[in-house]
């Protein structure tokens, strides 16, 4: 998805839909991986003894600071609704 989105941006398009979709999918996938790493390591995963706690904390923040998932989904929903209404008006 990152390659797909980067290619669209490289071609000069705004890529707002593609970047929202990619940010949601990638940030949530990364979070699931980091969360499983903590779980597998048990208590050790929550200490500063390994890098896992730092990665988990930073990935968690990523789901907020690059636009919360809900805001990306809200923006995608608005676009889908706009396109559907336009298609309806155009008789499609």
One of 29, 33, 64, 85 touching ligand FAD (CB under 6 A): 64
Least Cα distance to 21 among 62, 58, 55, 69 occurs for: 69
Residue 50 is classified by DSSP as S
60 sits near ligand FAD (criterion: CB under 6 A): no
What's the closest the beta carbon of residue 19 comes to ligand FAD, in angstroms? Answer: 14
Q: Does 41 bind ligand FAD (CB under 6 A)?
A: no
How far apart CA 23 and CA 69 sit, in angstroms, is 8
Please report how close the Cβ of residue 89 comes to ligand FAD at its closest, in angstroms: 26
User: How many chain residues are in contact with ligand FAD, going by CB under 6 A?
Assistant: 8
Give the pair of three-digit tokens for residue 3. 């390659």
């Amino acid at each position: 998805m990152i390659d797909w989105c980067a290619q669209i941006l490289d071609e000069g398009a705004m890529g707002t839909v593609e970047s929202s979709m990619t940010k949601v999918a990638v940030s949530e996938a990364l979070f699931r991986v980091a969360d499983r790493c903590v779980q597998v390591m048990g208590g050790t995963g929550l200490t500063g003894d390994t890098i896992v706690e730092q990665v988990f904390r930073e990935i968690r923040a990523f789901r907020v600071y690059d636009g919360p998932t809900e805001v990306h989904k809200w923006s995608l929903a608005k676009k889908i609704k706009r396109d559907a209404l336009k298609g309806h008006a155009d008789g499609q």
